Structure 1
């Protein structure tokens, strides 16, 4: 579980599928109201507080993005807390329970995102993808000192998608960054046909 602060009132949490399995949670469970998911959320908020000092009291907007073959990204935005906390203290209420006011948005993202520290690795993987006939497409971003290749595998046969993932994983690392974050905080280097463009201008 990795936690990163995006702004004073917003954090991003990356959960691998191993993180979920360790807690007995399946990917599809994140779409359901079950105690295990609430426990996971409480654990995430405790870790966010201890690591970043992020106080999760008050209303929270929670966005959950499922990423293919990588894990899940949870973006938590803290709203303005109401100044009526005393009215909510009920002596009969179970004080051991952490109660969060959450507005949850769930999205399934099929975008493949891989980060590379060196541009040489981007050149190498692009040439492999191109020569193997796996892809000519993709978008290239620069974000926090890393190069990020993003692919939309919609309509691609699963075997081909797995082959693309295998090559990307050989040279880079699956990243928890979402397309929305990249477009807001990163820099678009090549907006379409990145693999073809890179292979045209660079040789490994």
Structure 2
């Protein structure tokens, strides 16, 4: 489990599938109201408090994004607690506010891997093309790393798993979402990155 602060009232938690399995949670369980998921959320909030001083009191917006290769990205945004004119919360309001949570669940079809070295990106691209898995992809530069993203909405599960196996050999699954990359990353190759890499770095 990896936690990072995105802003004063916002954190991102990255859970790998191994993190979920260790706790006896299947990917599909995240969509159900079960005690294990509540325990996991409590554990995440405890860790966020101890590592970042992020206090989860008050209304929370929780966005859970399931990604095919990476695991789960959980974005928690803390809302503002209403304070009465005397500077304190009303008793009734305090009880209500503490546990008010709005959860959004999404599933992403994007496979994203991060690479430290450009040579590793080239090697992964060559193997993906040689295996006949894909010639597509979008290549970004983000915080000193190379990130390649594939939209696999129309790709069959077997091909997805084979792509993940190749990418995992050279890089690491990343918790960065497409929205963050589009806003803060630099697009190096907007389309057909595998084909372009193989063409220019043969």
Please, what TM-score do these two structures have when normalized by structure 1?
A: 0.89
Shift of 1:177: 1.2
1:70 maps to 70
**Is 1:82 aligned to residue 82 of structure 2?**
yes
1:21 maps to 21
CA distance in 1, matches of 2:83, 2:182: 35
Structure 2 spans left out of the alignment, 5+ residues: none
1:35 maps to 35
* SS of equivalent residue, structure 1 residue 170: helix
- Decide whether the 8 Å contact of 1:58 with 1:82 is kept in 2: no
Shift of 1:157: 2.6
* SS of equivalent residue, structure 2 residue 61: strand
* SS of equivalent residue, structure 1 residue 48: helix
Please identify runs of 4+ aligned residues in structure 1 that moved more than 6 A.
Answer: none
Shift of 1:22: 2.0
* SS of equivalent residue, structure 1 residue 121: helix
Which deviates more, 45-54 or 151-160?
151-160
Structure 1 spans left out of the alignment, 5+ residues: 94-98
2:161 maps to 162
RMSD: 1.9
Shift of 1:195: 0.9
* SS of equivalent residue, structure 1 residue 54: coil
- Decide whether the 8 Å contact of 1:136 with 1:194 is kept in 2: yes
Q: How does 1:46-65 map to 2 (within 5 A)?
A: 46-65=46-65
